[in-house]
Amino acid sequence: MSSPILISLFGGIKLNPSSDRAIYLQLADMILALIKQGKLGSDQKLPSSRAVADLLSLNRLTVTKAYAELQMQGWLESFVGKGTFVSTHVPEIQPKQLKSTSTTKGQKQAGFALDSKSYRKNPFFVSTARLHLDHGYPDPTLAPLKELYRAYRTQLSCESRLYPRFGSYGQPDGADFYKEALSKYLNETRGLKTTHRNILSTRGTIMGINLVCSALIKPGDVVVSGIPGWQRLEHNFIHSWANHIGIPVDENGIVVDELRKICEKRKVRMVYITPHHHYPTTVSLSIDRRLELLALAKEFGFIIFEDDYDFDFHYNHRPLLPLISADDQGMVIYGGSFSKSISPAFRVGYLVAPENVIEHLSNTRMLLDRQGDHILDNAMAELLNDGTITRYLRKALAVYEKRRNHFCDLLRSELNNVVDFVVPEGGMTVWTTFDKSINLSELSTQAYEKNLYISDGLVHKYPDYDENAIRLGFASSTIEELSESVNILKSLIFKG
């Protein structure tokens, strides 16, 4: 290595043997940085691999692999008998002093424009608090995780079912074994009339909504839902450039009379509902309004998206069957998920619709996600077929009802003067309205400092709806944790 400039350049390379990144890749990164900075120009000959190895105290093979990596990327060219050169296709770059020459830190700002103003912010918060009165999550300690593990392991070893598809792609709408098991389960538990061709496997309700918006909603289409509602869902409408209109929700669910007024003036494309337990208020859509809604859909030709996120948890009496069970016109798309039954980390959901809709949604799904996890789907099918899910839900229902009763008793006895609520007939949360004197944002912050998570209520506020209310989830906490959580709230509210 005769050039003192090259000796200086390559001698300044610092490698980190304790890094997770291989040494030859680190070396390739450093050489690439020299090229991008203009310190190694187009068609410039590089030192031999032996010379670099001696200078940096490396194995020659390591340097050879680094050169080969950059050749594969098109940055270097190698000629037998001549050596290795910076590619002639690399433009001449005038060297300049960079603020940082480190290659270990990620970029903070893109070099291209982002139209972020066209999109709503979708913040998320992952709580690390020990206690939580969440938005309505199940208790994963009750879930049949051992059974799921065994079923998943069986799928991995059961070549008769998976082979030859195991080594290739499958159907975008889901594995037939899962869809057949799910069709049977939904027909038996919800009064549906489906075959496996009416089902599309998803990774949860939000994916199902996104698929429907992508495939069936055009810019300017009118989409209606209840207010207050689920803002993550509403942002999907906005993302599709739909015209979202909110209608009121009372003790009997969405006010269908208001929907009719809209339909008489404008062409409505889709109505989104959570009829079993409205999100976030937990009220059920009354039977007369269900029938009226189906009649309106038939009359005005709009889609009903029925999100039945917690059908399995109803305490006072048998739940009303889904709207889709009474739909003989093919107007309803039904969405469900096992994430709310077992765990949010368990991403298995589904859409139910007429066959031609499923085909259309499957075609759209190919652009987003070639297929779901067929192995997980089939493992879930095993639990549906052998009755594991039914037994688990029966056990969890009893536990959650006990927790609901205990939690509501605590709210009455400890916070009676500052909260108002109706004991929910089902679901996993209590829609709780706080006295106007209580600042929920401050209460949320103070509670988190005491290791308790509660919502600050901002996701439930709208320009024309400003109740001082939040969802307080009880299902994911033990009796002891619920008592401790309410005591913390009580100490913060009445500390004066």
Q: Domain containing 368 — which CATH number?
A: 3.40.640.10
Higher local confidence (pLDDT), 205 or 118? 205
Average per-residue pLDDT in the chain? 84
Report the pLDDT value the prediction gives residue 163, as an integer from 0 to 100: 43
DSSP assignment, residue 409? H
Pairing of strands 332-337, 303-307: parallel
- The CA angle 101-104-108, to the nearest 5 degrees, is 85
Which residues, 6+ apart, have CB-to-CB distance to 289 below 8 Å?
Answer: 252, 253, 254, 256
Domain that holds residue 303: 164-386
Range with the poorest average pLDDT among 231-245, 279-293, 371-385, 398-412: 371-385
Contact 215, 360 (CB under 8 A): yes
In the predicted model, what is the mean pLDDT of residues 416-444?
A: 91
Q: For position 45, which CATH number holds?
A: 1.10.10.10
Q: Are residues 201 and 347 in the same domain?
A: yes
Domain final residue pick, 335, 352, 386: 386
Report the pLDDT value the prediction gives residue 106, as an integer from 0 to 100: 64
Asked whether residue 112 is domain-assigned, the answer is: no
In the predicted model, what is the mean pLDDT of residues 341-350?
A: 76
Domain final residue pick, 334, 365, 386: 386
Contact 286, 251 (CB under 8 A): no
Asked whether residue 292 is domain-assigned, the answer is: yes
User: Which among 334, 314, 312, 313 is positioned nearest to 323, based on CA atoms?
Assistant: 334
Q: Are residues 363 and 411 in the same domain?
A: no
Which residues, 6+ apart, have CB-to-CB distance to 204 below 8 Å?
Answer: 337, 339, 347, 348, 349
Asked whether residue 97 is domain-assigned, the answer is: no
Asked whether residue 96 is domain-assigned, the answer is: no
Element at 387 (helix H, strand E): none
Residue 402 burial (CB count, 10 A): 13
Q: Are residues 256 and 280 in the same domain?
A: yes
Range with the poorest average pLDDT among 168-177, 188-197, 395-404, 412-421: 168-177
Range with the poorest average pLDDT among 19-33, 81-95, 418-432, 466-480: 81-95
CA distances from residue 86 to 36, 41, 66, 101, 119 in whole angstroms, order as listed: 11, 7, 13, 20, 43
Report the pLDDT value the prediction gives residue 377, as an integer from 0 to 100: 81
In percent, the amount of the chain with pLDDT more than 70 equals: 89
Higher local confidence (pLDDT), 375 or 215? 215
In percent, the amount of the chain with pLDDT more than 90 equals: 31
Report the pLDDT value the prediction gives residue 372, as an integer from 0 to 100: 64
Contact 317, 115 (CB under 8 A): no
Give residue 298's Cα distance to chain centre.
32
Q: What are residue 128's phi and psi, to 5 degrees?
A: -115, 10
For residue 174, give the amino acid letter.
G
pLDDT band with cut points at 50, 70 and 90 for residue 117 = low
DSSP assignment, residue 76? E
Q: Are residues 320 and 445 in the same domain?
A: no
Which residues, 6+ apart, have CB-to-CB distance to 372 below 8 Å?
Answer: 174, 201, 202, 203
Distance CA 116, CA 98 (A): 28
Range with the poorest average pLDDT among 133-147, 153-167, 314-328, 418-432: 153-167
Report the pLDDT value the prediction gives residue 124, as an integer from 0 to 100: 66
**And the tokens for 252?**
């009997």
Higher local confidence (pLDDT), 319 or 140? 140
For residue 453, give the amino acid letter.
Y
Range with the poorest average pLDDT among 157-161, 416-420, 480-484: 157-161
pLDDT band with cut points at 50, 70 and 90 for residue 470 = very high
pLDDT band with cut points at 50, 70 and 90 for residue 164 = very low
Q: Are residues 81 and 46 in the same domain?
A: yes
> For the chain, what is the domain count?
3
Whether the CA torsion 89, 95, 97, 103 is positive or negative: it is: positive
| pTM, full prediction | 0.72
Q: Are residues 379 and 472 in the same domain?
A: no
- The CA angle 209-440-137, to the nearest 5 degrees, is 40
Q: Are residues 362 and 234 in the same domain?
A: yes
